[in-house]
Amino acid sequence: MHSTDHFAPTLAEIEALALAAREALPGQFAGPARAVVLRVEDFAPDDLLIEMGIEDAFDLTGLYEGIPMTEKSVSDPGGPDLIWLFRRPILDEWAARGDVTLGDLVAHVYVHELAHHFGWSDDDIAMIDRWWE
């Protein structure tokens, strides 16, 4: 192996970046965020893409599945909320941008999906994720 060899980050490495972003959240959010299951896959499943009307799997970097905390009630069915991150579309966007670190992009996608869980407004997201500064 040569020092010039490069390998794309693995699913586990993308997950580690998202978990680091979760731990960096302000305390009032970090705890509840741990209750949301994180799954990292190369791409969204075909049936999900079809259901969402997305033709190109590279167009979906992440997805929140669940009921936002602001809408939950005791009568809602059990089961954990879930955030999906899709490695290949994230890597594609990262390469195309060329102006952000992979860690920053993963954190941005993760926080955006987590915002759906918390029922955050755009202003709430901006306080946590300074992406646009």
Domain annotation covers residue 133: no
State the CATH number of the domain containing residue 35: 3.30.2010.20
Residue 10, Cβ neighbours under 10 Å: how many? Answer: 11
Q: How many domains does the chain have?
A: 1
pLDDT for residue 1? 42
In a domain, 74, yes or no: no
Q: Is residue 122 part of a domain?
A: yes
pLDDT digits (tens, 9 = 90+) for 58-88: 999 999 988 777 776 666 666 789 999 999 9
Q: Which of 1-10, 27-36, 53-62, 66-75 has the highest mean pLDDT?
A: 53-62
Bridge partners, residue 64, by sequence: 83
pTM assigned to the model: 0.84
Give the residue carrying structure tokens 């954190």. Answer: 107
Integer Cα distance of 80 and 84 in angstroms: 13
Which stretch of 1-5, 59-63, 70-74, 96-100 has the lowest confidence by average pLDDT?
1-5
